[in-house]
């Protein structure tokens, strides 16, 4: 075990003594003569779907100065015309397979990598799969990059930049520019420069494409329900003619990140940030790429993750103290910001207002404490238990690892040389190795590692302070931060004491009750039990997930039972109740410690019309789930520390800064107007915080959980019925309950009627308009048929809006629509939403397109579009019906409203025609209720 001690400092030496990591045999990896790599893996989760990727080891780092922004521009052009798919052919073709543009069909350009994907393609037709390979081929080598299409896309990208140019993006830009002095990284944000995007000559883009998109920089990844041999042969045939790069072709350079001898201090402030933040990094050299294939890499990663996990647990405990200067701190260990040539041990800190320096000092003092004394055996014990239970869950669910997971693993292997490791092999290696490491050795190794990362000088230390710019704010300076670092170095530090409550969650078991009646539900086939205390329980055993039990208990009532005088308390009940309460003797933090290594949770929630106790667990920890549910009903207790912490810090600060964030202002306005300007939908402010009353919150929470007989409990999952029944009798049949007493929802909100037009201006850094139009109705009954119709109408309009606003007019990066129904108590509300972040000068035209096309849908609906929407819905429902969460919803709707959202779904979808959708659009417009909200920049 001494080996561990040298793991971090003598990689090479250790590699000679440790074996190579075995490669997942289920993945077929190969390489063509022209240098193209491919990965093919059969997988059947989700069932009958295939994901296609092309991963490239190039990004904005390969741009020349006059090309800044073109790597990302090129990614857009990949959807605007190629050899086999002219115009928007790729989007149209994949849509016909039920693949959605934006989610299932998309791409991402980074500084170092560019990955395109077509996901969730149904595997039923081989010819469709072949066509997807053709798309990959076009991306690899067949883009047309036509003048006219390039010019059209300039506007779209400019709009994307406007939409993304938030405080958060400017923060990142500043961090990268300042955090990489003397390195190419400093000037290669993928979004690039707008003057280049607007004006570059066509050839510059074609040059980038032909120089860098070539087989030796590319890998094709295909994962899903496919025939591996067939796919391999097809790839070989399709891609073999792509020319290999010339011998003198430029090679991808991995640009270095220089060391900094002195501490690097970076400060930044922006009006549109919502939160102050400090990031401190300690840079170190990454492990050599070749070493990532060696078993020692797994050991090093394990040590790094234990280090972070134990630091994070300490920070979480510290933030509970009222005088702690930060509201959160989180540690990470990996790439330095965006670089592949430098790693960093980093800590991200959320300081309280005006306490940046103190927060930095406190966190660094904690780092020093670990450097001096290490972690304790009990801390490591909890971290290890959590790790082991995580990998055990992963192993138990290995047959449910989705295509997305394997796609990522293959891409990471190509792009970053990460191990191509099967889940069961990883589990076997780690579950054998970890228990052999003694906690002393692990803690010593981690301490040693930290001493290497965090040097006694400021060498390779980088401190970044990002603050909300506002009147009267005093921001940290480089000097004040430097002083904080020095203060941490000089402070006297004592050893950490780990306080743990050593008692079971429930010391005295309640007197068990009985299951007194049971029957099988004829509609759904689940079991309905009645317990001796009057509680109803529904058991639905499924085999969709191998190791999952979901619990959902609900009753009518919710916030609708309380009046305006509780407004502030209700808001807190909704968002905070679980973080400000404990159970029994366990405060919020004690409970986290006590549940180390367990996979079970349960919480109480309250929305407008329904009270919930929700939870879930794996099979092994099912009893813990029951205990937690029992305690949520009988033992919810105050945790003053957590309450104070939530109250004073986090939210006060967030609420104060909300008014300067345009997006938050817009969202608040939408919610208020849609809620008919009722007090229940009024935005919450920092003034309101003063009226929050903790005792009253506890009183309401206890009121809503006093009578378990008001609730219906549902269990969905892979439980063994013989094992779950005694737990139900022990923990649910013993809950305090009043037989036959149920509550109902009370005050049901009205929708805004007639035309509601709200246009307003808002101060913002980047001028950007926001438009939302809702057509609503409260008379159309909530039926499965109407829900399906409104959803289809939304999808069709979405398509039209995207075409007219983005593709034809280049006026916005995104535009879309969605339709759905909602039940407020028992009142059905239908929504059709059109949304678009838009150039301010294009506002009137966008509104006109929204309205005209909605009217148009009342008479004309595109038959092809309808067919595609139907395909997509049928494909999605087939996947969703294999999810426990879906069945939980089915049961909930049936029990609460007598509404069956399941049976007949497919038939109703198939039965829709252009005429039925138009008729529905007319019905919706007849109600004459419209909400239009537009935000434009203040001059
Ligand atoms: Zn983009």
Cα of 733 to ligand 1 centre, how many Å?
55
Band (649; pLDDT cuts 50, 70, 90): low
Provide the token pair at 749: 């909100």
Indicate whether 11 pLDDT > 70: no
Distance, CA 876 to ligand 1 centroid (Å)? 26
Three-state secondary structure string covering 198-255? HHCCHHHHHHHHHHHCCHHHEEEEEEECCCHHHHHHHHHHHHCCCCCCCCCCCCCCCC
CA of 157 to the centre of ligand 1 (A): 6
pLDDT category, 87, cuts 50, 70, 90? very high
Average pLDDT estimate for 103-124: 96
Q: Ligand 1 centre and the CA of 109: distance in Å?
A: 8
State the distance from the centre of ligand 1 to the C-alpha of 107, rounded, in angstroms. Answer: 8
Q: Which residue has the tokens 């609708």?
A: 560
Q: Residue 754: its pLDDT value, please?
A: 95
Ligand 1 centroid to Cα of residue 85, in Å, is: 20
Task: Burial-class residue 504 by CB neighbours within 10 Å (0-12, 13-18, 19+).
Answer: exposed
Q: Count the neighbouring beta carbons within 10 Å of the beta carbon of residue 129.
A: 24
> Ligand 1 centroid to 834 CA: how many Å?
21
Instruction: Please report which confidence band the pLDDT of residue 656 belongs to, taking 50, 70 and 90 as the band edges.
Output: low
Residue 20 CA to chain centroid, in angstroms?
A: 33
Report the separation in Å between the CA atom of 915 and the middle of ligand 1, taken as the mean of its atom positions: 36
Q: Is the pLDDT of residue 12 over 80?
A: no
Phi, psi of 32, deg, nearest 5: -85, 165
**What is the token pair recorded at 808?**
């034809």
**Ligand 1 centre and the CA of 402: distance in Å?**
26
- Length of the chain in residues, anyone? 939
Cα 213 to ligand 1 centre (Å): 18
Minimum mean pLDDT range among 34-43, 537-546, 914-923: 537-546
Mean pLDDT of 1-27: 63
267 Cα to the center of ligand 1, angstroms: 28
Q: 577 pLDDT band (50/70/90 cuts)?
A: confident
- The Å distance, Cα 72 to ligand 1 centre, comes to 6
Instruction: For residue 243, count other CB atoms closer than 10 A to its CB.
Output: 9
The alpha carbon of 649 and the centre of ligand 1 are apart by a number of angstroms equal to: 36
Q: Sign of the C-alpha dihedral, residues 698, 701, 703, 708?
A: negative
* CA 36 centroid distance within chain: 32
Ranges 495-504, 517-526, 599-608, 780-789: which has the least confidence: 495-504
Q: Indicate whether 685 pLDDT > 80.
A: yes
The overall average pLDDT reported for the chain is: 93
pLDDT tens profile 145-188: 999 999 999 989 988 898 888 888 999 999 999 999 999 999 99
Q: How far is the CA of 165 from the centre of ligand 1 (A)?
A: 12
CA of 106 to the centre of ligand 1 (A): 10
Place of tokens 């005429």: 915
pLDDT digits (tens, 9 = 90+) for 257-307: 999 999 999 999 998 888 899 999 999 999 999 899 999 999 999 999 999
Locate 24 and state its tokens: 């997942």
Q: 811 C-alpha vs ligand 1 centroid, how far in Å? A: 14
Mean pLDDT of 488-494: 94
CA of 351 to the centre of ligand 1 (A): 33
102 CA to middle of ligand 1, Å? Answer: 10
Q: How far away, in angstroms, is 131 Cα from ligand 1 center?
A: 24
Alpha carbons 307 and 305: distance in angstroms, whole number: 5
Residue-by-residue DSSP string for 753-817 = -SEEEEEEEE--SS--EEEEEEEEESSS---HHHHHHHHHHHHHHHHHHIIIIIIIT---S--EE
The alpha carbon of 87 and the centre of ligand 1 are apart by a number of angstroms equal to: 18
Distance 933 CA to ligand 1 centre (A): 26
Measured in Å, residue 562 CA sits from the centre of ligand 1 at: 46
CB atoms within 10 A of CB 503: 11
**355 near 281, Cβ under 8 Å?**
no
Q: Which helix (H) or strand (E) holds 81?
A: none
**Residue-by-residue DSSP string for 93-105:** HHHHTTPPBTTTE
**Nearest C-alpha neighbor of 724 from the set 625, 634, 603:** 625
Give the CA count within 13 Å in the CB-facing half-sphere of 252. Answer: 19
Burial of 399 (0-12, 13-18, 19+ CB in 10 A): exposed
Task: Give residues with Cβ within 8 angstroms of 475, minimum separation 6.
Answer: 267, 269, 356, 465, 467
For residue 277, what is the enclosing H or E element?
A: strand 277-284
Cα–Cα dist 181/475, whole Å: 23
Question: Is omega for the bond preceding 925 within 30 degrees of 0, making it cis?
Answer: no
Tokens of 700: 């309401």
Distance 224 CA to ligand 1 centre (A): 27
Tell how far the Cα of 187 is from the centroid of ligand 1, in angstroms.
18
Measure 153 CA to ligand 1 centroid, in angstroms: 10
Kindly report which listed range (4-13, 178-187, 507-516) carries the lowest average pLDDT score: 4-13
pLDDT (tens digit per residue) in 385-411: 999 999 999 999 899 999 999 999 999
| Predicted local confidence at residue 1, as pLDDT | 35
Distance 471 CA to ligand 1 centre (A): 34
Cα 59 to middle of ligand 1, angstroms: 13
Which residues are CB-contacts of 450 (< 8 A; sequence separation ≥ 6)? Answer: 307, 345, 367, 370, 371
Measured CA to CA, the distance from residue 80 to residue 148 in angstroms comes to 10
DSSP single-letter state for residue 859: T
Other beta carbons less than 10 A from residue 690's beta carbon: 10
Distance 663 CA to ligand 1 centre (A): 20
Q: Ligand 1 centre and the CA of 659: distance in Å?
A: 28
473-477, 639-643, 654-658, 720-724, range with the lowest pLDDT = 654-658
Rounded to the nearest angstrom, the distance between the alpha carbon of 807 and the centre of ligand 1 is 14
Separation of CA 155 and ligand 1 centre (Å)? 11
Q: How far, in Å, is the centroid of ligand 1 from the Cα of 158?
A: 9
CA 190 to centroid of ligand 1, rounded, Å:
9
3-state secondary structure of 675: coil
Distance 161 CA to ligand 1 centre (A): 8
Select from 327, 325, 315, 324 the least CA-distant residue to 367: 315
Give yes or no for a contact between 653 and 275, defined as CB atoms under 8 angstroms apart: yes
Q: Give the pLDDT band of residue 525 (cuts 50, 70, 90).
A: very high
Q: What is the pLDDT of residues 737-751, one digit of tens each?
A: 999 899 999 988 889
Between the alpha carbon of residue 337 and those of residues 171, 274, 275, 731, the distances in Å are: 12, 21, 19, 48
The whole-angstrom separation of Cα 401 and Cα 45 is 7
Between CA 624 and CA 614 the distance in angstroms is: 13
How many CB atoms are closer than 10 A to CB 12?
11
Gap from CA of 343 to ligand 1 centroid (Å) = 27
Query: 73 C-alpha vs ligand 1 centroid, how far in Å?
Result: 7
- Which residue's structure tokens are 């892979």? 718
What is the spatial distance between Cα 80 and Cα 85, in angstroms, rounded to a whole number? Answer: 9
Cβ burial, residue 251 (10 Å; 0-12/13-18/19+): exposed
Alpha helices in 286-336 (DSSP H): 295-318
Burial per residue of 523-551, b for 16 or more beta-carbon CB atoms within 10 angstroms, e otherwise: ebebbbbbbbbbbbbbbbbbebbebbbbb
Measured in angstroms, how far is the CA atom of residue 215 from the centroid of ligand 1?
24
Cα separation, 726 vs 734, in Å, equals 11
If you measure from the C-alpha of residue 108 to the centroid of ligand 1, how many angstroms do you get, rounded to a whole number? 8
- What single-letter DSSP state applies at residue 728? I
Task: Find the 160 Cα to ligand 1 centroid distance in Å.
Answer: 6
653 pLDDT above the threshold of 80: no
Structure confidence at residue 569 (pLDDT): 94
Joined together, the tokens standing for residue 778 give 């409260």
Question: If you average pLDDT over residues 755-776, what whole number do you get?
Answer: 92
CA separation for the pair 202, 147 (Å, rounded): 6
Contact 438, 446 (CB under 8 A): no
> How many angstroms does the Cα of residue 338 sit away from the middle of ligand 1?
18
**Ligand 1 center from residue 76 Cα (angstroms):** 6
How close is the Cα of 217 to the center of ligand 1, in Å?
21
- Do the bridges between strand 610-617 and strand 636-638 make them parallel or antiparallel, or are there none, so unpaired? unpaired
Is residue 6 pLDDT above 70, yes or no? Answer: no
Would strands 264-270 and 461-468 be described as parallel, antiparallel, or unpaired?
parallel
Q: How far is the CA of 204 from the centre of ligand 1 (A)?
A: 18
Which residue has tokens 């009183």? 699
Q: Edge-to-edge strands of the sheet including 461-468? A: 264-270, 461-468, 277-284, 343-351, 326-335
Half-sphere exposure of 871 (CA within 13 A, CB side): 19
Q: Flag whether pLDDT at 420 surpasses 50.
A: yes
Contact (Cβ atoms closer than 8 angstroms) between residue 374 and residue 318: no
User: Cα(60) to centroid of ligand 1, in Å?
Assistant: 13
Among candidates 786, 812, 794, 936, which has minimal Cα distance to 853? 794
**What separation in Å is there between the alpha carbon of 154 and the centre of ligand 1?**
11
End-to-end alpha carbon distance in the chain: 67
CA 266 to centroid of ligand 1, rounded, Å: 28
pLDDT in tens, 222-256: 999 999 999 999 999 999 999 999 999 999 999 99
**Tokens describing residue 809:** 């007019």
**Cβ atoms < 10 Å from Cβ of 1:** 11
What is the distance, to the nearest Å, from the Cα of residue 198 to the centroid of all Cα atoms in its chain? 33
Ligand 1 centroid to Cα of residue 156, in Å, is: 8
Non-local CB neighbours of 380 within 8 Å, separated by 6+ positions: 306, 310, 439, 442, 443
**347 alpha carbon – ligand 1 mean position (Å):** 30
- The pLDDT tens digits of the residues spanning 580-614 come to 899 988 988 889 888 988 999 999 999 999 999 99
Q: Is the pLDDT assigned to residue 645 strictly greater than 90?
A: no
The average pLDDT across 81-85 equals: 97
Find the 144 Cα to ligand 1 centroid distance in Å: 18
Tell me how far the alpha carbon of residue 846 lies from the centroid of ligand 1, in angstroms: 21
Q: Where are the alpha helices (DSSP H) in 692-740?
A: 694-705, 721-727
**504 alpha carbon – ligand 1 mean position (Å):** 53
CA of 103 to the centre of ligand 1 (A): 13
Kindly indicate the confidence band of residue 575, based on its pLDDT and cuts at 50, 70 and 90: confident
List alpha helices for 275-355, DSSP H.
295-318
**408 C-alpha vs ligand 1 centroid, how far in Å?**
21
CA 605 to chain centre: 21
Distance 98 CA to ligand 1 centre (A): 22
Give the integer Cα–Cα distance in Å for 831 and 786: 11
Distance 191 CA to ligand 1 centre (A): 8
How far is Cα 611 from Cα 711, in angstroms, rounded to an integer? 8
Q: Is 459 helix (H, G, I), strand (E, B) or coil?
A: coil
Instruction: Tell me, in angstroms, the distance from the centre of ligand 1 to residue 113's CA.
Output: 14
Work out the pLDDT band at 10, boundaries 50, 70, 90: very low
Cα of 212 vs centre of ligand 1, distance in Å, is 19
């Amino acid at each position: 075990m001494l080996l561990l001690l040298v793991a971090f400092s003598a990689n090479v030496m250790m590699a000679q003594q440790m074996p190579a990591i075995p490669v997942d045999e289920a993945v077929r990896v190969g390489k063509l003569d022209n240098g193209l790599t491919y990965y093919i893996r059969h997988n059947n989760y989700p069932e009958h779907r295939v994901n296609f990727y092309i991963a490239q080891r190039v990004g904005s780092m390969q741009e020349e100065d006059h090309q800044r922004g073109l790597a990302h521009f090129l990614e857009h052009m990949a959807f605007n015309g190629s050899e086999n798919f002219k115009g928007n052919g790729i989007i149209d073709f994949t849509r016909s397979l039920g693949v959605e543009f934006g989610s299932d069909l998309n791409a991402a350009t980074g500084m170092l990598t560019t990955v395109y994907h077509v996901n969730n393609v149904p595997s039923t037709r081989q010819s469709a799969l072949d066509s997807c390979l053709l798309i990959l081929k076009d991306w690899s080598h067949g883009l047309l990059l036509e003048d006219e299409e390039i010019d059209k896309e300039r506007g779209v990208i400019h709009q994307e930049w406007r939409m993304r140019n938030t405080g958060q993006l400017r923060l990142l830009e500043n961090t990268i520019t300042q955090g990489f002095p003397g390195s190419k990284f400093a000037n290669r944000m993928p979004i690039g420069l707008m003057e280049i995007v607007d004006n570059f000559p066509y050839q510059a883009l074609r040059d980038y494409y032909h120089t860098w998109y070539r087989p030796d920089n590319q890998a094709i990844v295909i994962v899903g329900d496919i025939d591996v041999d067939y796919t391999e042969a097809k790839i070989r045939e399709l891609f073999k003619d792509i020319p290999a790069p010339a011998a003198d072709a430029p090679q991808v350079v991995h640009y270095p990140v220089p060391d900094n001898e002195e501490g690097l201090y970076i400060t930044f402030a922006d009006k549109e940030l919502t939160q102050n933040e400090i990031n401190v990094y300690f840079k170190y050299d990454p492990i050599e790429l070749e070493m990532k294939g060696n078993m020692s890499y797994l050991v090093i990663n394990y040590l790094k993750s234990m280090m972070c996990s134990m630091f994070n647990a300490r920070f979480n405990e510290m933030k509970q103290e009222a005088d702690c200067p930060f509201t959160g701190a989180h540690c990470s260990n990996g790439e330095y910001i965006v670089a592949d040539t430098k790693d960093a041990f980093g800590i991200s800190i959320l300081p309280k207002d005006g306490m940046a320096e103190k927060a930095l000092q406190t966190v660094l003092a904690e780092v020093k404490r670990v450097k001096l004394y290490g972690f304790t055996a009990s801390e490591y014990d909890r971290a290890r238990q959590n790790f082991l239970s995580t990998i055990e869950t992963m192993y138990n669910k290995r047959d449910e690892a989705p295509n997305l997971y394997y796609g990522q693993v293959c891409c990471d292997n190509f792009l970053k040389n990460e191990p191509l490791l099967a889940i069961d092999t990883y589990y076997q290696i780690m579950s054998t190795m970890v228990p052999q490491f003694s906690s002393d050795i692990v803690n010593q190794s981690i301490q040693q590692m930290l001493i290497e990362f965090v040097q006694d000088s400021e060498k390779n230390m980088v401190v970044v302070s990002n603050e909300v710019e506002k009147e009267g704010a005093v921001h940290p300076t480089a000097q004040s931060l430097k002083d904080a670092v020095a203060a941490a170095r000089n402070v006297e530090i004592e050893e950490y004491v780990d306080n743990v409550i050593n008692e079971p969650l429930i010391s005295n078991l309640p007197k068990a009750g009985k299951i007194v009646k049971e029957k099988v539900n004829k509609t759904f086939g689940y079991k309905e039990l009645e317990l001796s205390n009057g509680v109803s329980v529904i058991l639905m055993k499924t085999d969709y997930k191998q190791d999952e039990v979901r619990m959902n208990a609900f009753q009518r009532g919710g916030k609708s039972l309380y009046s305006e005088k509780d407004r502030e308390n209700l808001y807190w009940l909704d968002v905070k109740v679980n973080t400000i309460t404990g159970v029994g003797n366990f405060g919020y933090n004690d409970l986290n410690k006590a549940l180390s290594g367990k996979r079970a949770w349960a919480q109480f929630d309250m929305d407008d019309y329904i009270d919930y106790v929700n939870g879930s667990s794996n099979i092994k920890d099912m009893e813990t789930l029951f205990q937690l549910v029992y305690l949520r009903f009988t033992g919810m207790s105050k945790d003053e520390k957590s309450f104070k912490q939530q109250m004073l810090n986090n939210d006060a600060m967030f609420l104060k800064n909300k008014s300067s964030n345009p997006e938050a202002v817009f969202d608040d306005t939408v919610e208020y107007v849609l809620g008919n300007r009722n007090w229940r939908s009024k935005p919450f402010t920092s003034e309101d915080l003063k009226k929050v009353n903790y005792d009253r919150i506890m009183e309401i929470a206890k009121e809503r959980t006093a009578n378990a007989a008001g609730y219906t409990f549902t269990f969905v999952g892979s439980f063994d019925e013989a094992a779950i029944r005694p737990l139900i009798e022990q923990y649910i049949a013993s809950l305090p309950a009043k037989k036959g007493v149920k509550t109902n929802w009370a005050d049901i909100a009205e929708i805004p009627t007639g035309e509601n037009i709200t246009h307003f201006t808002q101060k913002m850094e980047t001028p950007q308009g926001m438009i939302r139009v809702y057509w609503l109705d409260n008379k159309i009954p909530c039926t499965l048929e109407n829900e399906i119709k409104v959803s289809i109408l939304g999808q069709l309009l979405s398509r039209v809006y995207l075409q007219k606003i983005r593709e034809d007019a280049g006026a916005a990066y995104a535009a879309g629509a969605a339709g759905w129904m909602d039940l407020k108590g028992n009142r059905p509300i239908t929504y059709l939403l059109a949304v678009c972040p838009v150039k301010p000068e294009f506002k009137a035209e966008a509104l006109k397109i929204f309205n005209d096309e909605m009217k148009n849908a009342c008479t004309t609906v595109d038959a092809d579009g309808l067919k595609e929407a139907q395909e997509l819905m049928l494909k999605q429902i087939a996947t969703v019906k294999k999810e426990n969460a879906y069945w939980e919803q089915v049961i909930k709707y049936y029990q609460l409203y007598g509404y069956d959202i399941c049976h007949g779904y497919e038939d109703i979808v198939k039965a829709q025609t252009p005429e039925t959708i138009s008729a529905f659009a007319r019905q919706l417009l007849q109600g004459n209720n419209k909400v239009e909200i537009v935000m434009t920049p203040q001059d």
